[in-house]
Amino acid sequence: MKKTLSVTLFLVMAVVLLMALAVPAYAAEPAKKVETNSGVKVMHAADWKEEFPNQYQSWMMTSENDGLDDYLEQYPMLVTLYEGYGFAKDYKGARGHFYDIEDIEATGRPHPMANCWTCKTPDFTNMVNEEGIGAYMKDWTEVQAQITEGISCYNCHANTPGDITITHTYWIDAVGDDFDSIAPANLACGQCHNEYYFEPETKATTIAHSSLAGMAPETMLAYFNDGANFSTDEPFADWTNPRTGVRQIKVQHPEFETFLGAGSPHASTFTCADCHMPTVTAEDGSTYHSHNLVSPLENEELLANTCSLCHKDLVSEVRGVQAEIEDRTNAVGAQLVDLTEMLAAVVESGKYTDEQLAEVRQLARDAQFYWDFVFVENAEGVHNPSLTRDCLNRAESICTEAITALEAVTA
């Protein structure tokens, strides 16, 4: 009898929990949108130190995430795949927000314009909000002199800490009418953890989607491939590989698009903050969100109290998925290197016209886009294993198609 009761109780609790999880885990209140052109000045983290000591102290702790991976050393294939672009010269992995100014100042990649400050500092975010998109074309060094701090309270809260306010206006456009239906804590991180590009003429930071539906990888690729979307009237390219003549797209950290994309196991159950901002109990017994952004795998309490309800051993599960994705990313990357070398040799032979090579170049561009979408996503596949595998499958099959098409040209 006792056993039946506890089983029943367990089932009731499980159902309640599942129902709670099935409901999107965000506050009923949507995020706010920043007011532009209003003469507002940035309040900096130090201004909030007294009022919000816990958030301030934990925000400082992103300094603990200080490891700096050298991707070019770890993945020599990048030198070939990104040839002709800054990322083939210097490419370090991401680390804690604390280091973002130091890291952009140290990068070996060229950054002629202020648009490179877009995701680094509230001082620049506010400059764009006050001056308009002309600020993106300012000189990088001129803006550098006006920067006082890295990513901080204003980026996610404007000058009202506690409220989530979206301060990066291109991101308001990027989600369009879906704004109110997206959890504020997802929108806050999505402002920078997204796939962006610089508009060819205005150099403004811009996103290749204007709704949640538009952010599927294949939809974004179609957007980049359609010249009508750009002031130059030709398909978008970040750079052209000098040996193959392929006009390439460089994807950038699409965490938001991956996590909220099709097939994501937790898109409607958890937010970025649920997994990366631990809830901490302060000395006075109140709770707050730690602003030190850590891996959920380092959060013992979260694992024990929440994740373990469904995952027996999340750490090994995640490491297993990451290892599988890493292996496939390397294998497909190697295949892309083969294609690049084959195409480079054919171009160097001088025997074929651009017209003859157009189809192969298009396929090579598309294949690398899908591969890069996975390579540059910082969770190594676990935000959305199904979307990640789908991208790698597409990259592989399009690459194979390109090799076959190239063989047909030279046969």
Q: Could you say which residues in the range 109-138 bind ligand HEC, by CB under 6 A?
A: 119-120
Helix (H) or strand (E) holding 207: strand 205-207
- In DSSP terms, 279 is beta-bridged to 289
Q: Scanning residues 11 to 30, which ones bind ligand HEC (CB under 6 A)?
A: 18, 21, 27
CB 184 → ligand HEC: shortest distance, Å?
A: 6
**DSSP-based three-state secondary structure for 338:** helix
Is 252 near ligand HEC (CB under 6 A)? no
Is 270 near ligand HEC (CB under 6 A)? yes
Phi, psi for 281 (deg, rounded to 5): -95, 125
Stretch that binds ligand HEC, among 224-232, 241-249, 269-277, 361-369 (CB under 6 A): 269-277
Binds ligand HEC by CB under 6 A, chosen from 31, 34, 43, 48? 48
First to last CA, the chain: 78
Q: Scanning residues 169 to 188, which ones bind ligand HEC (CB under 6 A)?
A: 185-186, 188
Of the candidates 105, 133, 108, the residue with the CA atom closest to the CA atom of residue 120? 105
Binding pattern for the stretch 56-95 against ligand HEC, x by CB under 6 A and - elsewhere: x--x-----x---------------------------xxx
CB 381 → ligand HEC: shortest distance, Å?
A: 8
CB 257 → ligand HEC: shortest distance, Å?
A: 9
Of the candidates 98, 159, 161, the residue with the CA atom closest to the CA atom of residue 292? 98
Structure tokens at 112: 């002629």
Q: Please provide the size of the chain in residues.
A: 411
CB 330 → ligand HEC: shortest distance, Å?
A: 17
CA 199 to chain centre: 18
Calpha distance 411→405 (Å, rounded)? 10
Is 361 near ligand HEC (CB under 6 A)? no
Chain position carrying tokens 């598309």 = 366
CB 241 → ligand HEC: shortest distance, Å?
A: 26
Amino acid at 236: F
Is 143 near ligand HEC (CB under 6 A)? no
Of the candidates 359, 371, 369, the residue with the CA atom closest to the CA atom of residue 404? 359
CB 382 → ligand HEC: shortest distance, Å?
A: 4
Q: Which is nearer to ligand HEC, 2 or 312 (CB)?
A: 312
Is 268 near ligand HEC (CB under 6 A)? no
Chain position carrying tokens 């994501």 = 264
Q: Which is nearer to ligand HEC, 310 or 331 (CB)?
A: 310
Q: Which is nearer to ligand HEC, 76 or 263 (CB)?
A: 263
Q: Scanning residues 283 to 312, which ones bind ligand HEC (CB under 6 A)?
A: 288-289, 291, 293, 295-297, 302, 306-307, 309-311
Binds ligand HEC by CB under 6 A, chosen from 109, 111, 203, 266? 266
Binds ligand HEC by CB under 6 A, chosen from 209, 250, 276, 328? 276
Is 375 near ligand HEC (CB under 6 A)? no
3-state secondary structure 3-41: HHHHHHHHHHHHHHHHHHHHCCCCCCCCCEECCCCCCCC
Of the candidates 280, 274, 285, the residue with the CA atom closest to the CA atom of residue 57? 280
* Orientation angle between helical segments 385-410 and 217-225, nearest 10 degrees: 40
Residue 7 CB: number of other CB atoms within 10 A?
Answer: 10
Is 317 near ligand HEC (CB under 6 A)? yes
Amino acid at 336: L
Binds ligand HEC by CB under 6 A, chosen from 34, 42, 143, 192? 192
**Is the separation of the CB atoms in 255 and 378 below 8 Å?**
yes
How many residues touch ligand HEC under the rule CB under 6 A: the total is 72
Binding pattern for the stretch 193-222 against ligand HEC, x by CB under 6 A and - elsewhere: x-----------------------------
Calpha distance 44→154 (Å, rounded)? 7
Is 263 near ligand HEC (CB under 6 A)? no
Phi, psi for 121 (deg, rounded to 5): -160, 140
Binds ligand HEC by CB under 6 A, chosen from 385, 396, 399, 403? 385
Stretch that binds ligand HEC, among 96-104, 132-140, 333-341, 393-401 (CB under 6 A): 96-104
